[in-house]
Amino acid sequence: MKKIIYILIGLLVIALNKPLLAKTDLPGLVRSGQYSKGTLLSISQPDAIKQSLDAVYSVGTYPLYTPELVPGEGRDIIQGYCNLCHSVTYITMQPPLPAATWEDEVYKMINTYGALIPEDETRQVIAYLQAHYTPETRRQ
Ligand code: HEC
């Protein structure tokens, strides 16, 4: 008996709230549909665009985003070695990193990932990164 009363109270609460819920605004991404009377109960589509046989279609350049590295001594070396495995976007997409972190980063590429960079060029790579991509030196 008690259960039935609870169920009835529950149903009553739902019934009373329904008009209230219906009035509340729909949450952010949900939009109510717009139906014009003219198309009710019919499947009407706008006319297909007429295509001519001599039309020329083309696509623009594919939007690859690899920003230029800052010009400076060592840039060519960087582009030569680092591009072997990934684009230099990996450099520009980092936040400005402290000088020591760039050094660790380059040695990580060598010791962990197997980048083959001779020692003197490794020094130049690190010097370049430290000259342009640290919190103190980064301009772009
Ligand atoms: C032998 C291949 C190889 C070479 C050469 C290489 N990298 Fe990487 N690099 C990787 C791999 C693998 C990752 C990790 C990729 C991932 O997590 O998606 C990576 C990631 C990075 C990252 C992202 C941060 C991180 O530690 O994962 C930076 C910055 C980076 N490399 C800088 C460089 C620079 C600068 C050079 C040139 C001196 C270089 N890489 C050369 C393989 C290489």
pLDDT of residue 32: 59
Verify whether ligand 1 is closer than 6 Å to residue 115 (CB atom).
yes
Answer yes or no: is 128 within a domain: yes
Can you give the pTM of this predicted structure? 0.66
pLDDT of residue 98: 96
Cα of 107 from ligand 1 centre, angstroms: 10
The domain total for the chain is 1
- According to DSSP, residue 37 is labeled G
Answer yes or no: is 57 within a domain: no
In the numeric block, the tokens 């739902």 are attached to 14
Answer yes or no: is 96 within a domain: yes
Answer yes or no: is 91 within a domain: yes
Tens digit of pLDDT for each residue in 100-139?
999 999 999 999 999 999 999 999 999 999 999 999 999 8
| CATH code, 85 | 1.10.760.10
Burial profile 90-127: b = 16 or more Cβ within 10 angstroms, e = fewer? ebbeeeebebebbbebbeebeeeeebebeeeebebbbb
Give CB contacts under 8 A, 24+ apart, made by 116-119.
Answer: 116/81, 117/81
Answer yes or no: is 47 within a domain: no
Verify whether ligand 1 is closer than 6 Å to residue 77 (CB atom).
no
User: Rounded mean pLDDT of the chain?
Assistant: 83
Answer yes or no: is 127 within a domain: yes
Tell how many helices (H) and how many strands (E) occur in the chain. 5, 0
User: What range does the domain containing 85 cover?
Assistant: 80-132
Answer yes or no: is 50 within a domain: no
